[in-house]
Amino acid sequence: MSNSCKTIVVGTTSDYIDLLRRKLPSKLFFVTSPDIRKKAREAAPEKSEELLCDLSSHDAVNAMIEHHILQYGLTLNGIACFDCESMLLASYVATHFALKYPSPEAILACRDKSLTRRMWHSREIATPESLCITSEEQAKHFFEKNLMPCVLKPLDGSGSERVFRCNTAMECQTAYNTICSFQKKPEVLIEMFVEGTEYSCDVIIEKNCSYPIRFTRKIHAPMPVFGTIMAYELVEFPRGNISQKSFMSMLVKAAHALGISNGICMIDFIVTENGVSLLEMTPRPGGDCLPWLIKKGMNLDILSMNIDVASQPEFHFHAPSGFTSLVGLKIHAHGDGKLKYIDSSRLMEDPRVREVYIKQKPGHLIKLPPEDYDSWNLGHIIFKPSKFISCEAQCMQLLSLLDIEIEEKRR
C-alpha cells in the first residue's frame, strides 16, 4: 500500500492513536478532537497524519478532511472507529467519501438501546423487556407493574456507565434522577433484570455468516457501582444452555435487524437457564483491556484486524490457532484525588502475572463514578488464573499486591 493511501480513524483517544501508529506506521490518518490532543501525554503525530478539528458537525469535518487530503496528497481506502461516541460521525464521513461502514441509521439503532430492543423484539430475538421512560413516576410504575429487580441506564451509554440495578420502586426513582443529572435529556431506559452469567464477544459479520473472534466472561466488581466490570475471563465458548451454531445464527439475525451487514461487532449478552438474552451490539471491537488480553491469550491483534477489515475490499478471517485462558483485570482507583504513585513490584513477583500495564502517571486527577468512568481507570493486569481458586477471589488477591497512593482532594 502506498504511503499516501490511508485508513481514517475517527475520534479516538491519544493512547489508542499512539498504539495504532506504532502497530501500523504510515498507514493511518487520524481525525481527532483538539481537546484530546491538548491533554495527551503521548507524542503528537505528524501534521499529515492527524487532523485536529471540532467533531460536532459532520459537514464541517467532511470539508476539513477534503482540504487535508488535497493539501497532503492523500487517498482513502477505508474508515475505522474504536469509540462509541464517534461512530455516528464515522458513518457520515464514510457516506461522504463512499467508504465501507454501517449507515447512520444502523449506528443510531445500535446507540439507542430502546430502539435496539424494539428492533430485536420485532424479529423475535431474545432481549430483556424494557421501556424508554421520561420521568421518575414512569420508573416507579414499571417496577410496580413487574415487581422484579430492574436495571436503569442511559439510552446511549457506553458499557456499564451509569447503569443501576434497582430492587425497589424508590431505588428506580433515585437511579432515574441520578442518570438525568448527567445528561441534558429526560429519556432513560428501564429494563427487567435478567438473571444469568454475563459475557461479551467480538465477531465478524459477513453478509449471512458470522465468525467468532473471542468470548469473555464478565467478572463484576464487588462494590456499590452496579455493572462495573472488574475483569474479563477469556473463554473458548460460554457455558450453559447455548450452542455455538444457533448463537452465531442469532447474531447474524440481530445484526441484520439493526442494519449491519459486515464488519467487526462487539456483543454483550447473558446466558440464562433458558438460553441467551442479548443486551447490546455495536460495530467496533471491545475496548478496556480486551485488546491486550486477546493478544496475550490468542496471539491476535484485534486493533490491527479492525483496520484490515476497514481497508480491505475482501477480508478473509482466519481463526487463531492458539488459546490460553487468561484474565484481564482492570486497575481502578479507590478514591477521588491526585495520583501520587503506583508500585507494582510485589505484583510482578506473582507467577500468575503475565503483564502489568500502568496507564496513568503521578499527578493524574481522578474522579470516581458516576461522575467519571475514565479517570479512575489506572491500567490493567493480565494473569493466568489458578484452577483451584475462583477468578473473583484471585482478582481481589492480586489487586491487594498493588501499592497505590492517592492524595485525596480537600473538601
pLDDT in tens, 293-347: 999 999 999 999 999 999 998 888 888 888 999 999 999 998 899 999 999 999 9
Q: How many CB atoms lie within 10 A of CB 2?
A: 10
Is 57 within a domain?
A: yes
Q: Mean per-residue pLDDT for 241-247?
A: 93
Entry pTM = 0.92
Residues 204 and 303 in one domain: yes
Domain-embedded: residue 321: no
**What CATH number did the domain enclosing 43 receive?**
3.40.50.20
The pLDDT of residue 58 is 96
For residue 153, being part of any structural domain is answered with yes
Both 64 and 157 in one domain: the answer is: no
* Domain limit, last residue, from 171, 192, 213: 192
Full domain range(s) for residue 22: 5-101
Q: What is the pLDDT of residues 5-25, one digit of tens each?
A: 999 999 999 999 999 999 999
User: How many domains does one find in the chain?
Assistant: 4
